[in-house]
Amino acid sequence: MMPRRRQIAVTPREDGHWVVQEIGAERSEKLYDQKGDAEASAAARGRVEGADVVVEDEDGSIERWDSPDTD
């Protein structure tokens, strides 16, 4: 069985900010005012670390799932 690839999420907060954190982490790693800034940060980190990037919509549903294998 292959190990699961790391996943980085961009998720909304109730206060309107956006959080970038590794899925499964207890604490958020970085907080952003704009969704686009959070997405750019997560994408850059995903490229460096070979991690999937999961972007949620304002309601918390998955908007996009980017994998380094599909770029």
pLDDT value for 25:
84
pLDDT in tens, 21-54: 998 888 777 999 999 999 999 999 999 999 999 9
pLDDT value for 68:
81
pLDDT value for 69:
72
pLDDT value for 55:
98
DSSP-assigned beta bridge partners for residue 56: 62
Whole-angstrom CA distances from 29 to 22, 62, 70 are 8, 19, 25
Whole-angstrom CA distances from 31 to 3, 4, 6 are 28, 25, 20
pTM, full prediction? 0.85
Q: Where are the domains of the chain?
A: 7-70
pLDDT value for 27:
79
Nearest one of 42, 29, 33 to 12, comparing CA atoms: 33
